[in-house]
């Protein structure tokens, strides 16, 4: 195995969700930011929620004249 070509492995790396949940895991990156985690994902919570990224849902509704 070659030496000095592998990235540093952090045993206490943090995954930070947009809901505020912090998960400690192992990774080659010290911190990682995510939009959804198991605490706020609709599959795990049982809630139906639309995750809108940059107004895509609103643009779709406007384009096809969809009203509530």
User: Which pLDDT score, from 0 to 100, does residue 68 have?
Assistant: 60
Arithmetic mean of pLDDT, 38-46: 76
Q: Does 22 map to a domain?
A: yes
- Could you tell me which of 35, 41, 37 has the C-alpha nearest to residue 18? 35
| CATH number where 23 lies | 4.10.80.400
Q: Does 35 map to a domain?
A: yes
CA distance 43 to 38: 8
Count how many domains the chain has: 1
Task: List C-alpha distances in Å: 34 to 27, 28, 42, 47, 52.
Answer: 14, 16, 15, 19, 14
Q: Does 58 map to a domain?
A: no
- Which residues span the domain enclosing 10? 1-46
User: Which pLDDT score, from 0 to 100, does residue 19 have?
Assistant: 87
Count how many Cα atoms sit within 13 Å of the Cα of residue 45 in the half-sphere of its side chain. 10
Residue that wins the pLDDT comparison between 27 and 64: 27
């Amino acid at each position: 195995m070659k030496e000095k070509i592998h990235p540093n492995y952090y045993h206490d790396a943090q995954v930070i969700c947009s809901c505020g949940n912090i998960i400690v895991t192992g990774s080659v990156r010290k911190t990682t930011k995510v939009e959804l985690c198991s605490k706020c994902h609709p599959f795990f919570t049982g809630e139906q929620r639309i995750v809108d990224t940059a107004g895509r849902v609103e643009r779709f509704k406007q384009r096809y004249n969809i009203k509530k």
